[in-house]
Amino acid sequence: MSQTETETETETVPDVATPTWEYDPAPEARELAHIRSSYGLFIDGEFVDPAGDGSFATIDPSTERHLAEVALAGGEDVDRAVAAARKAFGPWSAASGRDRGRYLFRLARLLAERAREFAVLESIDNGKPIRETRDIDVPTAAAHLFYHAGWADKLDWAGLGPQPRPLGVAGQVIPWNFPLLMLIWKIAPALACGNTVVIKPAETTPLSAMLFAELCQQAELPPGVVNIVTGAGETGAAIVSHGDVDKVAFTGSTAVGKAIQRELAGSGKRLTLELGGKAANVVFDDAPIDQAVEGIVDGIFFNQGHVCCAGSRLLVQENVHDLVVDKLKRRLETLRLGDPLDKNTDIGAINSAEQLERITSLVDIGEAEGGERWSPACELPSSGFWFAPTVFTGVGASSRIAVEEIFGPVLSVLTFRTPEEAVAKANNTPYGLSAGVWTEKGSRMFWMADRLEAGVVWANTFNRLDPTSPFGGYKESGFGREGGRHGLAAYLAAPALEG
């Protein structure tokens, strides 16, 4: 046994009560978000009424308060949006990369200028804390625009072959967990490469996309380059199956992703799928334990665990299990759950009643299957959708909470003894989106990264996303990459890609 192991084994958490700090409320100004009573579709550069008279409501999940009525796009509206995108494709793809880059830089600057407004709106419509929208969602979205603006005139040097060509009209469908960020992840590379888009935001979170439509007008983006159609699953299906769409990019659940892949097989349409995950966050006994605890918290409680790459399975080396779990519980006692617009809030609302129901039922199953459930004492608000941060210990490898994506603030703790066992357990999942490794040894990080079947492996950090770094999955987490040079390949036709 190494010196480190002996020391770690004997370390105990000092028995001192965690100081409690009283916080005054620090609400961000709600009025910064100008929410209209109703929204039309954004087609050909204008807000238009849908062909039918259907609409649906979006609510604030932290209060269940009605926010706005949003147009429900049907097949006819999708036809119209695709026709606008097709018409715009000729001039947009013929424009110089420098000109396209200019528009993207303009969008990036406008988004950065109006960042507070976007952050407040996103928190209200989605339920996530303002601290996250302000510090992560919105700045990262702007960074993606800046990054791809820089690529627009350098595509010949992207290593994808000479003179790569855009694909045409991209049909894109995104989920509700990072509404603005996913929107930009999809739109920025498509536009930089000379494609035009028809995109559908998720039903519960359409508002930041509609504000982005205003930004497109403000930036004087040529009409038809970006078209945003709101609606339900059927609207998404109409985009995916549309005969004049050349490329489909989908982010969402594995079940819908599989159905899309089946449908598109043989159609000649290019497809990328960013689907679910059940990431392992692996903590070795030589890890900086306090830092690892922060990483575990960030891994699964960031954005209420509504994160495809969330570290939802903690694999901890057996001899430090008790220490890590004790420290983790103490840390969780300090998290603040409540009003998403309060700047001190760590945990916001669950996005919808449906998602809350799914989390609750999987957690009940976890208990029934013998897992030991723990949550810090925390009072849940009386209205809205809420779920306390939850940790399960004693979880069996085949328990449903160890296998299925919960997509909520629920951590399943499992143990391992050797690196080989850690790899075997981490890879024992149909998913392969991300993984984390905590150790002080660089050689062990690389050893693990070589063996973990995951698109992204973080070492001594977690959930770190950057526009220059490609993101995407293996196995049932999908295929294709977003971000980085690799992400451009999804929107270009080039001999190097076709050969």
Give the residue among 238, 228, 186 at the shortest CA–CA distance from 208.
Answer: 228
Q: Does 277 bind ligand NAP (CB under 6 A)?
A: yes
On whether the CB atoms of residues 438 and 288 are closer than 8 A, the answer is: yes
What letter would DSSP give residue 222? P
Q: Does 72 bind ligand NAP (CB under 6 A)?
A: no
Q: Does 176 bind ligand NAP (CB under 6 A)?
A: yes
Tell me how many residues contact ligand NAP (CB under 6 A). Answer: 28
Q: Catalytic: which of 193, 216, 308, 309?
A: 308
Cβ atoms < 10 Å from Cβ of 187: 30
Least distance (Å) between residue 27 CB and Mg ion: 19
Alpha-carbon gap, residue 117 to 207, rounded angstroms = 12
125 binds, among ligand NAP, Mg ion, none (CB under 5 to 8 A by kind): Mg ion
Alpha-carbon gap, residue 487 to 200, rounded angstroms = 20
Q: Does 110 bind ligand NAP (CB under 6 A)?
A: no
The one segment of 124-132, 289-297, 439-447, 476-484 that binds Mg ion by CB under 5 A? 124-132
Alpha-carbon gap, residue 451 to 375, rounded angstroms = 33
| The CA-based dihedral angle spanning residues 218, 224, 225, 231, taken in that order and rounded to the nearest 10 degrees | 90
Alpha-carbon gap, residue 489 to 155, rounded angstroms = 10
Least distance (Å) between residue 377 CB and ligand NAP: 29
The one segment of 51-59, 137-145, 235-243, 275-283 that binds Mg ion by CB under 5 A? 51-59
Q: Does 77 bind ligand NAP (CB under 6 A)?
A: no
Question: Which of 8, 39, 43, 58: binder of Mg ion (CB under 5 A)?
Answer: 58
Strands 65-71 and 196-200: unpaired
Question: Which of 35, 51, 115, 232: binder of ligand NAP (CB under 6 A)?
Answer: 232
492 binds, among Mg ion, ligand NAP, none (CB under 5 to 8 A by kind): none
Q: Does 275 bind ligand NAP (CB under 6 A)?
A: yes
Query: What does the angle CA 189 – CA 237 – CA 270 come to, to the nearest 5 degrees?
Result: 40
Residue 335, by phi and psi: left (phi above 0), alpha (psi -120 to 50) or beta? Answer: beta
Least distance (Å) between residue 310 CB and ligand NAP: 8
240 binds, among ligand NAP, Mg ion, none (CB under 5 to 8 A by kind): ligand NAP
CA of residue 285 relative to chain centroid, distance: 30
Alpha-carbon gap, residue 217 to 121, rounded angstroms = 18
Q: Does 177 bind ligand NAP (CB under 6 A)?
A: yes
DSSP, collapsed to helix, strand or coil, labels residue 161 as coil
Cβ-based burial of 181 (10 A; exposed 0-12, middle 13-18, buried ≥19) = buried
The one segment of 155-163, 197-205, 292-300, 363-371 that binds ligand NAP by CB under 6 A? 197-205
Question: Which of 90, 91, 233, 495: binder of ligand NAP (CB under 6 A)?
Answer: 233
Least distance (Å) between residue 67 CB and Mg ion: 6
Report which residue type is found at 149: A
The one segment of 84-92, 268-276, 336-344, 440-448 that binds ligand NAP by CB under 6 A? 268-276
Please identify, using beta-carbon distances, which residue of 271 and 323 lies nearer to ligand NAP: 271
Residue in the structure block whose two tokens are 């930036």: 219
What letter would DSSP give residue 259? H
Residue in the structure block whose two tokens are 């526009």: 467
The one segment of 8-16, 229-237, 334-342, 417-425 that binds ligand NAP by CB under 6 A? 229-237
Active site residue 308: yes
The one segment of 8-16, 199-207, 328-336, 409-417 that binds ligand NAP by CB under 6 A? 199-207
173 binds, among ligand NAP, Mg ion, none (CB under 5 to 8 A by kind): ligand NAP
Alpha-carbon gap, residue 232 to 339, rounded angstroms = 27
Which residues, listed in sequence order, are joined to residue 129 by a DSSP beta bridge?
none
Cβ-based burial of 75 (10 A; exposed 0-12, middle 13-18, buried ≥19) = middle
Active site residue 378: no
Report which residue type is found at 191: L
Q: Does 177 bind Mg ion (CB under 5 A)?
A: no
Question: Which of 4, 140, 253, 344: binder of ligand NAP (CB under 6 A)?
Answer: 253
Q: Catalytic: which of 274, 404, 453, 476?
A: 274
| The CA-based dihedral angle spanning residues 236, 250, 363, 378, taken in that order and rounded to the nearest 10 degrees | -90
Q: Does 125 bind Mg ion (CB under 5 A)?
A: yes
Q: Does 276 bind ligand NAP (CB under 6 A)?
A: yes
Q: How far is CA 473 from CA 302, 371, 434, 437, 478, in A?
A: 20, 28, 7, 17, 5
| The CA-based dihedral angle spanning residues 456, 459, 462, 463, taken in that order and rounded to the nearest 10 degrees | -30
Least distance (Å) between residue 331 CB and ligand NAP: 25
On whether the CB atoms of residues 164 and 490 are closer than 8 A, the answer is: no
Q: Does 173 bind ligand NAP (CB under 6 A)?
A: yes
202 binds, among Mg ion, ligand NAP, none (CB under 5 to 8 A by kind): ligand NAP
Question: Which of 202, 213, 426, 493: binder of ligand NAP (CB under 6 A)?
Answer: 202
Site for ligand NAP in 382-421 (CB under 6 A): 405, 407
395 binds, among Mg ion, ligand NAP, none (CB under 5 to 8 A by kind): none
Query: Which residues are designated catalytic?
Result: 274, 308
Note the residues at the interface with ligand NAP (CB under 6 A): 173-177, 200, 202-203, 232-233, 236-237, 240, 251-253, 256, 259, 274-277, 308, 405, 407, 433, 473, 478
Note the residues at the interface with Mg ion (CB under 5 A): 58, 125, 204
